[in-house]
């Protein structure tokens, strides 16, 4: 079984609130939900979203 993924992100950005970066990514995907769902059904895929936060001192 081969595992593949697509990555979408903002790259590293200094922020005290993750909502700005989250809104950027949601905005990029919002108008693409129908095509994502078609691909998901056609290839028996699942969608997962992960948020990675780097915390420094």
Under DSSP, is residue 30 helix (H, G, I), strand (E, B) or coil? helix
The answer to whether position 54 is within a domain reads yes
Q: Give the per-residue pLDDT at 41.
A: 95
Q: Which domain holds residue 52?
A: 15-57
The answer to whether position 49 is within a domain reads yes
The answer to whether position 4 is within a domain reads no
The answer to whether residues 28 and 36 touch, using CB atoms and an 8 Å cutoff, is no
Looking at the predicted structure, is the pLDDT value of residue 1 above 60? no
Query: Has this prediction a pTM greater than 0.75?
Result: no
What's the number of domains the chain is made of?
A: 1
- pLDDT tens column, 21-52: 888 888 888 899 899 899 999 999 888 878 77
Question: How long, in residues, is the chain?
Answer: 57
């Amino acid at each position: 079984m081969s595992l593949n993924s697509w990555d979408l992100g903002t790259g590293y950005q200094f922020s005290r609130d993750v909502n700005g970066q989250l809104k950027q990514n949601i905005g990029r995907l919002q108008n693409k939900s129908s095509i994502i769902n078609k691909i998901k059904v056609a290839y028996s895929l699942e969608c997962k979203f992960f948020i990675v936060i780097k915390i420094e001192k």
